[in-house]
A and B are shown apart, each in its own frame.
Chain A
Amino acid sequence: GDSVTQMEGPVTLSEEAFLTINCTYTATGYPSLFWYVQYPGEGLQLLLKATKADDKGSNKGFEATYRKETTSFHLEKGSVQVSDSAVYFCALTRPSGGSYIPTFGRGTSLIVHP
């Protein structure tokens, strides 16, 4: 079956540091890939997405590129802020029998210190 693997956290950084959160996936066909963010005490929010190989999703300074050759969708940000502290989930959706069931990674907690 489909699967998404994320680097384990927590990832702890100082403000303005560079962020990378690794994500790799296993799926047949051509899934769409997503990053969702969950702030403390809240539900998840869509952060960015990419629907085909070499697409780059971007939002709020975050970027991720759909790399089919390495089955990866790593999340990056050039300069993190304290307000970026949250849990980040990598996910995919793939059509299967008329449905589009999502598969999520286990989440990576990011802690940014001033």
Chain B
Amino acid sequence: GAVVSQHPSRVICKSGTSVKIECRSLDFQATTMFWYRQFPKQSLMLMATSNEGSKATYEQGVEKDKFLINHASLTLSTLTVTSAHPEDSSFYICSAQSHKGAYEQYFGPGTRLTVT
């Protein structure tokens, strides 16, 4: 299957700072990427849909000014957590959507964010 990388895999930051997470589709062009937040006990929450060349579409309850998403190319989407707080600590996962067939998702390995 397709490969999606995510960087960094782990990051620790101080409260009030910003953190950028990169998601790269390595072997196919992804018009659409998704960002998820995974809570303890495995629940996966879709945060936003990232479309190349256009503004991201955020799910209800997700603050777009806090979670900035940029999808500047067909292989790269970034999520910036601005003014991070301890409650933003979580596991963030991105996925790239296949643009044909069943439109399945190819997931990155995730980023563990800890805000101190």
A82 lies within 8 A of chain B by Cβ: no
- How many residues on chain B are close to A (CB under 8 Å)? 23
Tell which of B6, B49, B97, B104 touches A49, judged by Cβ atoms closer than 8 Å. Answer: B104
Main secondary structure of the interface of B (DSSP, over half): strand
Main secondary structure of the interface of A (DSSP, over half): strand
| Residue contact B109 to A51, C-beta cutoff 8 Å | no
Q: What residue of chain B has the Cβ atom nearest to residue A101's Cβ?
A: B49
Q: What residue of chain A has the Cβ atom nearest to residue B97's Cβ?
A: A100
- How many residues on chain A are close to B (CB under 8 Å)? 25
A106 lies within 8 A of chain B by Cβ: yes
CA distance A21 to B70 in the complex (A): 37
| Residue contact A109 to B49, C-beta cutoff 8 Å | no
B61 lies within 8 A of chain A by Cβ: no
| Residue contact A106 to B43, C-beta cutoff 8 Å | yes
CA distance A43 to B49 in the complex (A): 18
| Residue contact B103 to A100, C-beta cutoff 8 Å | yes
Interface string of A86-114 (1 = CB under 8 A from B): 01010101010001111010110100000
Residues of A participating in the B interface, judged by any CB pair closer than 8 Å:
32, 34, 36, 38, 41-46, 49, 51, 87, 89, 91, 93, 95, 99-102, 104, 106-107, 109
